[in-house]
Amino acid sequence: MPNYYDPHDEVFLANPWPVFRRMRDEAPAYFVEHLNMWALSRFEDVMQASMNRTHYTAAMGTTIDALITEGPKPSAFVFMDPPVHTSRRNILNPPYGKSAAALLEERFRQRTREFMAPHLARGELEIYSFASKVALYTIADIIGLSYPDITHIRALLDVWFHREPGIKGMTPQGMQAFGELHAFIMGLVRQFRVTLPPPGTHIHSFMTTPIDGQLVSDDEVFFTIFSLVITGSDTVALTAAGTIYYLAKHPTQYAEVRADHSLIPHAFAETARYDQPTNVLGRRVTQDHELHGQQIKAGQSVIFLFASANRDDREFPDADQFQISRRPARTLSFGAGIHACLGQHLARMEGRVILEEIMAAIPEYEVQIDRCQRTFTEFLQGYCHVPITFRPR
């Protein structure tokens, strides 16, 4: 069988959609031999596997890098199973419910307007960096970090995520950046043990709420901050930028959204389905089982190709078409099961407000399609540079 899928293949990552379709049709449970890993590409398979706690565990990692690396795994709630995972997630939950996200909306909207003002005077706005900046401020408040600290963390993460042609996975510069990132955050953690951030922040909760009689370790606080900065700034920004891009490529749908801003949440949701930023997560297999005639063995890994599953015609009619008129009963845009995205209600609110404010403040703009750029790694994908121009205001 030809090599359908390789998470580190640059040609595949640049345009995965034809390969995903072949996998869904011909090899829905595909074995990536050199990684000892199964890849699931159909919607129903990924949905069911995401909720399957009998055959799969998150304790050996949920990212490709973690799953293919032997040895102890980081102490992070994303790498845990219940009941340990539940206890950690319960500490983090309060700011992320639907009602809690709604309470944050007015401050988020004000901040969006403040950050947009200088761009309005210049007549140009780059959507990804703008959305990332606004989202970073919000997740900094929730975590308990200062904005200078979180922007430094974000800058090091950008180096860590960057991929170079001819190098599979992390670059040497990325490895160095991760070391600097670890040292910087651990320094902050030591400071927070002495001087706590305000009550209600994640760090305050982690450092004052015992679990089974013990406070969480410094390592766990580090990986929690690490994970939340990524998810709190990348995914919303990639989806907001993608929404502006895809609406520009579909003028009729853009006109509909312009005429009726109540369609903005549906455009954002369709972008998250059509071009899902978090394209893959996985688990370790704990029990032998069969899927699509394939024997999946304990000790192997299985990865969930969310980006492929959200383009599955078995679930979404004309799945390869961008259609803001969709009202799907379910998607995998924010995952499923106990590891579904913690901040999905916050993300939907942020994406909606950013797009509402752009369209309210700028009656007409032009997307500079020839200047738009995509990022693609084994973990994240999407439009990371979407500049628009307009008459200065």
- For residue 10, the model assigns a pLDDT of 84
In a domain, 2, yes or no: no
Distance CA 114, CA 119 (A): 10
Is the confidence at residue 134, as pLDDT, over 90? yes
For 11, what's the count of Cα atoms within 13 Å in the CB-facing half-sphere? 5
**Residue 384 pLDDT greater than 60, yes or no:** yes
Q: What is the pLDDT of residue 81?
A: 87
User: Which helix (H) or strand (E) covers residue 302, if one does?
Assistant: strand 301-304
As to burial, measured by CB atoms within 10 angstroms (0-12 exposed, 13-18 middle, 19+ buried), residue 317 is exposed
Cβ burial of 190 (10 Å; 0-12, 13-18, 19+) is: exposed
1 occurs within a structural domain = no
Does residue 4 surpass a pLDDT of 60? Answer: yes
pTM: predicted TM-score of the whole model, two decimal places = 0.93
Q: What pLDDT digit, counting tens, does each position of 296-341 carry?
A: 999 999 999 999 999 999 999 999 999 999 999 999 999 999 889 9
Which residues, listed in sequence order, are joined to residue 126 by a DSSP beta bridge? 387
Longest dimension (CA), the chain: 63
Residue 227 is assigned to a structural domain of this protein: yes
**Under 8 Å between Cβ of 386 and 126:** yes
Rounded to whole angstroms, the Cα distance separating 372 from 374 reads 7
- In this prediction, residue 188 carries a pLDDT of 96
322 is a domain residue: yes
Using CB atoms within 10 A of its CB, is residue 302 exposed (0-12), middle (13-18) or buried (19+)? buried
Closest Cα partner for 337 from 7, 38, 39, 56? Answer: 56
Q: Which residue has the higher pLDDT, 271 or 161?
A: 271
pLDDT attached to residue 3: 61
For residue 29, give the 3-state DSSP assignment. strand
pLDDT at 391 over 60: yes
Residue 119 lies in a domain: yes
CA angle 339, 101, 151 (to 5 degrees): 80
pLDDT value at position 2?
47
- Check residue 13 and give its pLDDT: 87
CA dihedral for 79, 81, 83, 86, sign (positive or negative):
positive
**DSSP calls for 181-235:** HHHHHHHHHHHHHHSPPPTTSHHHHHHH--BTTBPPPHHHHHHHHHHHHHHHHHH
Per-residue pLDDT band at 26 (split at 50, 70, 90): very high
pLDDT on residue 318: 97
Per the listing, tokens 């565990």 go with 57
Alpha carbon of 46 to those of 22, 49, 63, 275: distances in Å?
16, 5, 15, 17
Q: Is residue 371 part of a domain?
A: yes
Q: Which of 80, 369, 339, 358 is nearest to 231 (CA)?
A: 339
Task: Give yes or no for a contact between 356 and 253, defined as CB atoms under 8 angstroms apart.
Answer: no
Reduced to 3 states, what is the DSSP secondary structure of residue 304?
Answer: strand
Total domains present in the chain: 1
Q: What is the mean pLDDT of residues 196-202?
A: 91
Per the domain annotation, does 324 fall within a domain? yes
* Cβ proximity of 41 and 17 under 8 Å: no
Segments forming the whole domain that contains residue 51: 10-389
What's the CATH number where 201 sits?
Answer: 1.10.630.10
Given this model, what pLDDT does residue 213 score? 84
SS (H, E, C) 131-156: HHHHHHHHHHHHHCCCHHHHHHHHHH
pLDDT value of residue 216:
85
CB 261 within 8 A of CB 247: no
Helix (H, G, I), strand (E, B) or coil at 165: coil
Counting residues of the chain whose pLDDT is more than 70, the rounded percentage is: 98
Looking at the DSSP bridge assignments, the partners of residue 373 are: 385
pLDDT at 1 over 50: no
Mean pLDDT of the chain: 92
In contact, 226 and 353? CB cutoff 8 Å: no
CA distances from 243 to 94, 109, 215, 355 (A): 28, 18, 41, 8
Q: Which has the closest alpha carbon to 64: 34, 92, 23, 43?
A: 34
User: Quick check: is 176 in a domain?
Assistant: yes
What percent of the chain clears pLDDT 90, i.e. is strictly above it?
69
pLDDT digits (tens, 9 = 90+) for 206-257: 889 888 888 888 998 998 898 889 888 889 999 999 999 999 999 999 999 9
For residue 252, give the amino acid letter. T
Classify 25 in phi/psi space as left (phi over 0), alpha (psi -120 to 50) or beta.
alpha
How far is residue 221's CA from residue 297's CA, in Å, rounded to a whole number?
A: 33
pLDDT tens per residue, range 335-376: 999 889 989 999 999 999 999 999 999 989 999 999 999 988
